[in-house]
């Protein structure tokens, strides 16, 4: 059990780094091919991205289908829904309601459906990776990926420069939106919520709030890529807390790594792949941290298969 818990919670950041591998120890040298040939071997591999996009589009279109044909399959939107009559609750909306109810004295009046919906969705995404919700379910994430492609193209062409911010901003926004909910006794974030706005527009038709979505996509394309997802969205931050405990994670094996950094180039949260840089890994096996969306992009592009989906703590059970 102690070994399993160590696998679960240890990041290894406070340990001494492992010695970097020599050129002869790198995968391309062992395979007897050039570095460029080895690095580019999986550049056109999009297996996990295609699976993920298919799941995301299917689930979001199921909302549309259910509403359009008046079927009780998946009702509501990603702000709150029912799956075959079973309630599902957005966790940050639930936190706002709990915060408001705690100061108004109405916690005891929250319905059983509220608790069932919240606990059910937390259990589901605990199993499937916390922020996996962001890349496998959120329609704004899908749109943001396309804005990111434009951003990367413009950076390569030197039309714009890359801009990043302190990742701690997400905690400030998380606390700020909760405080606004308490002070106003309203779900303030819901009026700005990209997930809810896009989801409801798909299901019920467009509204003027889509202009806010377009403005953010333009900001991400021309100023700072994935700004909303990385630094603002409190839903993603909520799922990061769940992801810290989730058994499903991306596993990194140092002996298979060639220090190409292709994974960091495609990652939504590259700070979570700190150990792929030469001389940074502190142990033979690392698990990507709670901000990871389990999107699989790093798994797709890794030429040495150093990154894979895995169950944390599984080695301790074998």
State pLDDT tens for residues 109-138: 888 999 999 999 999 999 998 899 999 999
Predicted confidence band of residue 318 (pLDDT cuts 50, 70, 90): very low
At residue 287, φ and ψ (nearest 5 deg) are: -115, 135
Predicted confidence band of residue 107 (pLDDT cuts 50, 70, 90): confident
pLDDT, mean of residues 166-181: 96
Sheet with 248-253: strands ordered across: 285-287, 248-253, 307-311
> Is pLDDT of 317 > 80?
no
> Is pLDDT of 141 > 70?
yes
The predicted model scores a pTM of 0.90
Axis-axis angle for helices 139-156, 210-222 (nearest 10) = 30
Separation CA 21–CA 160 (nearest Å): 35
Q: What is the mean pLDDT of the chain?
A: 91
**Tens-place pLDDT, residues 256-294:** 999 999 999 999 899 999 999 999 999 999 999 999 999
At residue 202, φ and ψ (nearest 5 deg) are: -65, -40
pLDDT at position 315: 63
Location of structure tokens 């406070």 = 14
> Is pLDDT of 250 > 90?
yes
Contacts of residue 154, defined as CB under 8 A and 6 or more positions apart, other chains included, come to 160, 221, 222
pLDDT at position 7: 54
> Is pLDDT of 15 > 70?
yes
pLDDT at position 13: 80
DSSP classification of residue 17: P
DSSP classification of residue 77: E
What are the domain boundaries of the chain?
2-48+247-317, 72-241
* Residues 59/305/307/316 CA torsion (nearest 10 deg): 110
* Contact (Cβ atoms closer than 8 angstroms) between residue 262 and residue 301: yes
* Contact (Cβ atoms closer than 8 angstroms) between residue 306 and residue 297: no
pLDDT at position 106: 86
CA 228 to chain centroid, in Å, comes to: 12
> Is pLDDT of 40 > 80?
yes
CA 289 to chain centroid, in Å, comes to: 11
Separation CA 207–CA 191 (nearest Å): 12
Contacts of residue 155, defined as CB under 8 A and 6 or more positions apart, other chains included, come to 161, 162
Could you confirm whether domain 2-48+247-317 is CATH 3.30.70?
yes
3-state DSSP call for residue 148? helix
* Contact (Cβ atoms closer than 8 angstroms) between residue 260 and residue 229: no
Predicted confidence band of residue 2 (pLDDT cuts 50, 70, 90): low
**Tens-place pLDDT, residues 191-234:** 999 999 999 999 999 999 999 999 999 999 999 999 999 999 99
How many Å is the Cα radius of gyration of the chain? 21
């Amino acid at each position: 059990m102690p070994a399993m818990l160590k696998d679960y919670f240890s990041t290894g950041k406070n340990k001494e780094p492992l010695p970097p591998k020599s050129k002869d120890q790198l995968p391309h040298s062992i395979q007897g091919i050039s570095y460029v040939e080895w690095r580019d071997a999986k550049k056109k591999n999009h297996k996990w991205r295609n699976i993920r996009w298919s799941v995301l589009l299917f689930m979001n279109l199921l909302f549309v289908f259910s509403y359009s044909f008046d079927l009780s399959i998946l009702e509501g939107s990603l702000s709150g829904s029912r799956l075959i009559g079973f309630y599902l609750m957005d966790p940050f909306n639930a936190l706002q309601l709990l915060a408001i109810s705690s100061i108004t004295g109405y916690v005891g009046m929250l319905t059983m459906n509220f608790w069932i919906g919240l606990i059910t969705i937390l259990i589901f995404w605990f199993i499937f990776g916390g922020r996996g919700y962001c890349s496998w379910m959120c329609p704004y994430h899908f749109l943001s990926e396309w804005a990111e492609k434009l951003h990367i193209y413009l950076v390569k062409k030197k039309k714009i420069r890359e801009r990043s911010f302190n990742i701690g901003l997400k905690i400030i926004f998380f606390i700020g939106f909760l405080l606004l909910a308490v002070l106003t006794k309203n779900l303030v974030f819901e009026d700005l919520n990209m997930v809810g706005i896009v989801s409801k527009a798909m299901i019920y038709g467009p509204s003027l709030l889509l202009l806010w979505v377009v403005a953010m996509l333009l900001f991400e394309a021309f100023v700072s890529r994935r700004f909303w997802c990385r630094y603002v969205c409190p839903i993603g931050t909520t799922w990061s807390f769940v992801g810290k405990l989730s058994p499903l994670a991306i596993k990194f094996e140092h002996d298979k790594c060639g220090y190409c950094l292709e994974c960091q180039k495609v990652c939504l949260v590259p700070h979570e792949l700190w150990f792929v840089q030469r001389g940074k890994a502190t142990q033979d096996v690392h698990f990507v941290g709670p901000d990871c969306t389990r999107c699989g992009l790093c798994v797709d592009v890794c030429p040495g298969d150093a990154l894979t989906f895995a169950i944390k703590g599984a080695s301790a059970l074998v």
